């Protein structure tokens, strides 16, 4: 029941922010290195023709809703369809691209053992938050925790990881919406303050920086006039001294 509602909400937002397909599809390596198509909510603008989905810097294509979906992990929810199709499990090692698999097999001697388990939506490595840029230390930590999960698998470990992942997702969603709400309230307060200032009489409005600069310019101009009058020898009458003062 949750997935259809999310599909409608995400699709409406796609129409407002980034036209294109609802789902992002990509071929990944599954159980015993069998390929399957993984599903996610699309979080990036569709690349131009001739450009690969995985370019040198794809993060610049992430739109506003995509950032929210990624941070809250909601973009991973369509993978429950992969679970229903039998390609994935709820808990297990994350599926990787075939190119990444070939590269990391050379970097980690036991990387191929990950294929003994069906890939999952979440896992021990994901819960430990070993994710992000695929540097050497990060890959090794992920692989080691995936192997720990495979060697110590039990139904209770799966239940524990599911519950812990749910707590992390709820925390991320709560923090995301709290930040968005604070930003919205701050923007409304700023607009309300500006509207109140515009409704004030001009002589009681708060002085702005440019008003202060203009006032300083007027004072400098009047002082210059007084100096010029002194240089050319005009009589310094009371009227001149008075007029030489800034208004």
Residue 91 placed within a domain: yes
Residue 154 placed within a domain: yes
Residue 225 placed within a domain: no
Cα–Cα distance, 187 to 192 (Å, whole number): 9
Q: Using alpha carbons only, what angle is made at residue 75 by residues 72 and 79, rounded to the nearest 5 degrees?
A: 125
Handedness of CA 7, 8, 14, 17 (dihedral sign): negative
Residue 221 placed within a domain: no
Q: Which of 90, 100, 146 is nearest to 120 (CA)?
A: 90
- Domain limits for position 121: 2-47+57-177
pLDDT of 78 strictly over 90: yes
- Is pTM, for the whole model, over 0.85? no
When comparing pLDDT for 58 and 82, which is higher? 82
Q: Which residue bears the tokens 């992942």?
A: 165
In this predicted structure, what is the pLDDT of residue 131? 45
pLDDT of 120 strictly over 70: yes
Most confident of 14-18, 45-49, 131-135, 215-219: 14-18
Residue 166 placed within a domain: yes
Cα–Cα distance, 174 to 185 (Å, whole number): 16
Query: Count of domains in the chain?
Result: 1
Over the chain, what is the mean pLDDT?
Answer: 78
Residue 195 placed within a domain: no
Residue 95 placed within a domain: yes
Beta strands in the chain (DSSP E): 23-29, 35-41, 89-91, 120-122
pLDDT tens digits, residue range 79-99? 999 999 999 999 999 999 998
């Amino acid at each position: 029941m949750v997935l259809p509602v999310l599909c409608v909400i995400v699709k409406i937002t796609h129409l407002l922010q980034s036209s294109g397909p609802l789902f992002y599809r990509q071929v990944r390596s599954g159980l015993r290195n069998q390929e399957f198509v993984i599903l996610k909510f699309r979080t990036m603008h569709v690349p131009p023709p001739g450009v690969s989905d995985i370019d040198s810097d794809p993060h610049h294509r992430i739109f506003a809703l995509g950032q929210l979906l990624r941070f809250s992990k909601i973009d991973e929810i369509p993978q429950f369809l992969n679970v229903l199709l039998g390609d994935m499990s709820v808990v297990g090692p994350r599926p990787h691209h075939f190119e990444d698999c070939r590269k990391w097999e050379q970097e980690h001697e036991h990387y191929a053992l990950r294929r003994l388990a069906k890939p999952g939506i979440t896992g021990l490595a994901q819960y430990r938050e070993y994710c992000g840029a695929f540097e050497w230390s990060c890959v090794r930590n992920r692989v080691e925790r995936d192997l720990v999960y495979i060697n110590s698998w039990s139904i209770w470990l799966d239940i524990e990881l599911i519950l812990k992942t749910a707590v992390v997702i709820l925390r991320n969603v709560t923090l995301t919406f709290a930040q968005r709400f604070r930003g919205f309230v701050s923007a409304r307060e700023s607009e309300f303050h500006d509207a109140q200032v515009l409704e004030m009489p001009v002589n009681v409005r708060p002085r702005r920086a440019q008003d202060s600069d203009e006032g300083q310019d007027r004072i400098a101009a009047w002082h210059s006039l007084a100096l010029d009058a002194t240089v050319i020898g005009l009589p310094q009458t009371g009227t001149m001294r008075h007029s030489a003062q800034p208004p």
